[in-house]
Structure 1
Amino acid sequence: MGLVMVGLIAVGAPEVRDAIVNGKTDAVLSNPGEYQLSEEGEVVTRSVFPSAEVIDVNGATVDSAEFIGVPMVVNLWFAACPPCQREMPDFAAVHELVGDEVRFVGINPIDSASAMTDFADRMGVKYELYRDPLAELTDALGTLGFPYTVFVDATGVIVGDAGVLTEDELVGLINDYFDIEGGSDT
């Protein structure tokens, strides 16, 4: 019988990492691709999309609260994350379908600007990308793993969240949360 080691990349506040290490977490990601659930089984959402400083691809600092105003899909990811790699082409495809009605924002707390944009270009991503090098937005959203996606309505209320998503799942959630029809030819 072989030994299997699993690595966890923890990005976030020290109290979050300590809670995970000490077994005192109040939320678990039960199944990849499904909603992040609390121990009580309720969808974990924040009432309002947080304000935090992020950095655009040109190095300018932007307040994330400026994103609010239209329905929004905010995807937290990084290039070396295998599930992020799998879902990124699907996000690019869905953005092409509904990008005029829904704002797509990619948030990357790990990679350099060049690594982030090079990877996104290879994946066909044409939506907005921002770095979160201090993990301010990542922490404020309560991110425990990657990828992590939040759905924000036009008023700034977080209406849902998810882990790994396929193209069809993403289209379905956009329709559910924002009543916007999108779809693929498949």
Structure 2
Amino acid sequence: MRIRRNLLVWSTVAALVVAIVGGWLFSSASDDGVDANLTNPGVVQDPTIGTNAVAKGETLPAVNLPSVTTGDLTAIFPQGRPLVINFWFSTCEPCRREMPALQAVSTEFTGVVDVIGVNPNDSAEVAAQWAADMGVTFQLYTDRNADLLTQVGVGTMPTTLFVSTDGIIVDTHAGEISSKELRAALTKNFGIKA
């Protein structure tokens, strides 16, 4: 009887040791050395991995999207002028910060370049209210089924596409775009002295 009890005690101790050592080995092997601490809290850094697979030189796909204000379906394609397409959503802080630069270019270059916003996340009502609060007057569309978003390969927001008059995606900017960067892109891609 005593032998049986000793065997049970030693078996239990051995099982615990194996479980503890095994757990430690497993957790050590899966540690990639990266912790969850932010290096710059409150600062959104530009993506450094290939999250946006937008191919320069590709033709903008033919997609009809509903207008935020009217709900009417509209073909998203250049209408005789270069087109700047900005992908955004209402709770995206970098999207909020870049919107005044996009609005300024839209106002200053009316009839020269078209600026539109495409929102894949929010309802038309939320997008319209956000735009009104921000003073945005250029055309906004929703893409709730991610039709355009997936076809052009956008993986992060904000992302801005620059499309030539013949519908070719000539450049992209992933992440927040400053006024200076936006104006430089207009000059570089479309020859517009901004």
TM-score range, shorter chain: 0.7 to 0.9
- 1:161 pairs, out of 172, 177, 180, with 172
- The residue that corresponds to 1:87 in the other structure is 98
Query: Given the alignment, which residue of 101, 125, 131 partners 1:114?
Result: 125
Q: Distance in 2 between matches of 1:36 and 1:101?
A: 31
Tell me, what secondary structure is at the counterpart of 1:75?
strand
CA distance in 2, matches of 1:97, 1:36: 32
Question: Using a 3 Å threshold, how does the CA distance of structure 1 residues 37 and 50 change in structure 2: closer, same or farther?
Answer: closer
Higher-Rg member (1/2): 2
Query: TM-score, normalised on structure 1?
Result: 0.73
Equivalenced residue count is 151
Structure 2 unaligned runs (5+)? 1-34, 39-45
- Please point out which of 55, 72, 77 is paired with 1:60: 72
Instruction: Tell me, yes or no, if the aligned pair for 1:175 and 1:181 is still in contact at 8 Å.
Output: yes
Segments of 4+ moved more than 3 angstroms: 2-5, 35-38
1:129 match: secondary structure: strand
For the 8 Å contact 1:68–1:155, the answer to whether it is kept is: no
**CA shift for structure 1 position 36:** 7.4
2:166 aligned with 1:148: no
- State the SS of the aligned residue for 2:150: helix
| TM superposition score normalised by structure 2 | 0.70
Tell me how large the CA RMSD over aligned residues is. Answer: 2.4
Give the structure with the higher percent helix: 2
Q: Are 1:177 and 2:193 matched, yes or no? A: no
Does residue 139 (structure 1) correspond to residue 187 (structure 2)? The answer is: no
Identity over aligned pairs, percent: 31
Deviation readout 1:140-185 (Å, 9 max, x if unpaired) = 1100100011000000011000021011110110111000112xxx
Aligned partner letter, 1:52? V
Q: Distance in 2 between matches of 1:104 and 1:36?
A: 23
Give per-residue Cα distances to partners, 1:73-127, cap 9 Å, x unaligned: 0001001011101111111112122122001111001111111111112222111
In structure 2, distance between residues paired with 1:178 and 1:3: 42
Write the distance in 1 (CA, Å) between the matches of 2:36 and 2:171. 37
Indicate conservation of the 8 Å contact 1:92/1:123, yes or no. Answer: no
